[in-house]
Chains A and B, each alone.
Chain A
Amino acid sequence: MELIFLVEQVLNGLLVGAYYLLIALGLSLIFSLGGIVNLAHGGFYAVGAYLAVALAPRIGFAGAFVASPILVALLGVAVERLIFRRFYRSDPILSLLLTFGLAMVIEQSLRMLFGAAPLPFSIPAELRGQVFLGDFIYPRYRLMILAVALGAVAATWFLVYRTAFGRVVRAGVQNPEMVGALGISLQPYMTAVSALGIGLAGLAGVLLAPISGVHPAMGAEILTAAFVVVVIGGLGSFWGVVAAAALVGVVRGLTIFFFPPAGEASMYLLMALVLLVRPRGLLGERIEKFE
């Protein structure tokens, strides 16, 4: 009996990994390609969730699922043009302070516009219900989150590693001067990367709004976990984030099975262990800029 419960927690942990993957993917993208540590990532996640709540009654959940990440991505374009652009070459501490301030502005704006109380929002009726495999239980909604998260990973990977667009972006990370000398302006590429990363935060917001409280501080709640996943995976590593998200999900599930009070602490412990054994994270590359 015990063993099957453990297996259940491991499989559920993988599912929860999709949850962490969604919130960490955009953060990792902006960091690895732009070098910006975006502390406002949680803020954009919250904006995505609030947009879903505001839009769903008018255009349905499916409509909000498409529209909300796009609107958040457009917000990302504005943020890149007005803010990030000035900080690619400066001391990381500056972008850190700036995005920290931006996170507070977003949270307070949401509080002023919508109030501090959580807004009601549920899983749409057609996505409710559970799938049973023997004794294992999987909510249909979480399986959908898993599918969307994997789709987002595949699409991002293809864009960055298999297209001309991705080659320019990656070249820009390594050597911006050389890219400029070849007559390519990096600016539109970096705008696109920020829009993509921030749009992914918005996507996470829409998807998680039906299963977690929609309130102004929801972004701050998930930000630390997102960072832990990125750090465990290795700064700048694409597959590292995927592996770390799954690992965090499983380790957290097992910790809660044996010793629930340490449930959230387990990911920090895992991070400390990984950094002790492998300071650049699971699959992190050596990037001189960050050493």
Chain B
Amino acid sequence: MDDGKIITRRRWMQGSAGAALAAGIGMPAISYGQSDVIRIGHLTPITGFLGPLGEYAQMGVKLAAEEVNAAGGVLGRKVELVLEDSVNPQTGSAKAERLIARDRVAMIIGEISSATALAIGQVANRTKTVFINTGANSDALRGPSCNPYMFHIEAANSMMVMAVGEYLKNEKMIQGKKWYSLTADYAFGHDLFKVAKKFVSDNGGQFVGQDLVPTDATDFSPYLLKIRQARPDVVASNLAGNQITNFIKQYAEYGLTFPITGFGFDTAVAWGAGKGNFAGIWPLIWHHLVESPSSKKYVEAFSKKYGKLPENQSWGDYNSLKLVAQSFNELKSADPQKLAEHLRKGAKFDVLKGREGYFRAYDNQMVQEMYAVRAKDQAKMKDQWDIYDPLGTIPAAGGDLEVLAPPKDGECKMPA
């Protein structure tokens, strides 16, 4: 017993000497060392048309912080979240600067808007702070705008398109079919439409209509009439946030029966549509029906804490904090430089899926499984949450995960 104690003490001495050494060398580490908590910045839109999703993001990250602290925290310290509403690109980047300079956060998690994520990513790169993007889909963030400090746990638009595209091919909805698309008229929508159109054309489909919809549109009836006149085989949504809720509600109101699909999707906006309105096949980065032990545990913990089910946005922010805490503990350091290197070296993480995910060094995109779901028959829905059935996992078991990742077309040039 005595021996055991001595060794423990010796180990402890070694550990603290190491920590002191690290504190002496790394300048930023001094400030971390002085605090008894480790601060993580969380920045995402809470108001505006992405606000509903931002709320789920906050719920996810708060749950993760609770679990991390209950398990002993990070490097023996408690995690403290600094939560902010990112509002828009200007405010978002100003707040990111403040989180880093004033609150001395170890890293930043969050964002949903691609435009704001770009602004925060630039601050992250300039200040050499790790930023994990949990909700912005634009491929440009993984292409020309990529940088070594911006990581993406969220899927790129092209990944969403390929995930649902596989099922659309299986259902014979592309080859020789006429498509009509509605696209959110801003950076995200344009980017999504570009990759969706390429996918559909490459697979033998053809667009008979492609309308841009302003983000402040609440009445979709003129668009619905145009769709009815064009008589397409498939109606595709590249809409965003509350637009999707309004669109599926009014699509049902006008009684249109052309099959619906979409390339961008969040479960929260479909839950918000109400009975008898949701239809179609949609892609998801994660949903609450995913069959994996860690996923089931997460669904249970989330439902217990908040009284409702988690959805894809809460998934991203929850996992980001969990994997950062795990990395800091493994590295025995909260140094941003080391964290960035660790993530880029392909460390694998349990992200509540059948297979582990990892960030690839080319563009810092997390390579991972994706899913597609199909709207349930109204008569078979048990409650307001029970709106879709899982269609399966892409790629299928045994397949190379990287087939889903955006093409390595050389657009992303990371400084060595």
Chain A contact residues, CB within 8 Å of chain B: 5, 8-9, 12-13, 15-16, 19, 111, 115-123, 125, 128-130, 137, 139, 141-142, 210-218, 221-222, 224, 252-253, 256-257, 260-261, 263-265
Contacts and interface: CB of A to CB of B under 8 A. Distances in A.
Contact of A118 (B48, B252, B269): B269
Contacts of B276: 122, 125, 128
A120 B275 contact: yes
Among A16, A120, A130, A218, residue most surrounded by chain B Cβ atoms (within 10 Å):
A120
A32 B254 CA distance: 36
A117 B214 contact: no
B305 to A, nearest CB: 14
A118 B245 contact: yes
Given A260-B212, A265-B214, A120 B253 contact: no
A118 B226 contact: no
B9 interface: no
A123 B185 CA distance: 28
Nearest to A120: B274
A212 B246 contact: yes
Given A9-B225, A222-B218, A216 B272 contact: no
A217 B47 contact: yes
Chain B interface size, as a band, is 35 or more
Interface in B41-62: 46-49, 51-52, 54-56
A252 B249 CA distance: 20
Contacts of B253: 123, 128, 139, 141-142, 210-211
Interface in B26-48: 46-48
A213 B245 contact: yes
Contact of A9 (B52, B54, B222, B384): B222
Nearest to B214: A264
A224 B54 CA distance: 24
Contacts of B219: 16, 19, 212, 252
B194 interface: no
A142 B224 CA distance: 14
A74 to B, nearest CB: 27
A212 B218 contact: yes
6 contacts: A16-B222, A118-B52, A118-B268, A122-B252, A122-B275, A215-B245
B416 to A, nearest CB: 41
Contacts of B250: 211-212
Interface in B189-223: 211-214, 216-219, 221-223
A227 to B, nearest CB: 13
Contacts of A260: 211-213, 223
A12 to B, nearest CB: 6
B272 A118 contact: yes
Contact of B222 (A12, A119, A211, A221): A12
Given A122-B274, A137-B254, A214-B272, A263 B214 contact: yes
A218 B185 CA distance: 19
A221 B218 contact: yes
B258 interface: no
B119 interface: no
Interface in B73-100: none
Contacts of A119: 272
Contacts of A121: 274
Contact of B242 (A9, A118, A122): A118
Contacts of B271: 117-118, 120
A222 B246 CA distance: 13
Contact of A252 (B54, B211, B222): B222
B214 A213 contact: no
B162 to A, nearest CB: 27
A57 to B, nearest CB: 11
Nearest to A5: B229
A11 to B, nearest CB: 10
Nearest to B250: A211
Given A16-B219, A117-B56, A212-B246, A130 B255 contact: yes
B229 A12 contact: no
B272 A253 contact: no
A111 B217 CA distance: 21
A240 B249 CA distance: 31
A215 B52 contact: yes
B164 to A, nearest CB: 22
B277 interface: yes
A256 B274 contact: no
A263 B48 contact: no
Contacts of B221: 12, 15-16, 142, 253
B11 interface: no
A257 B273 contact: no
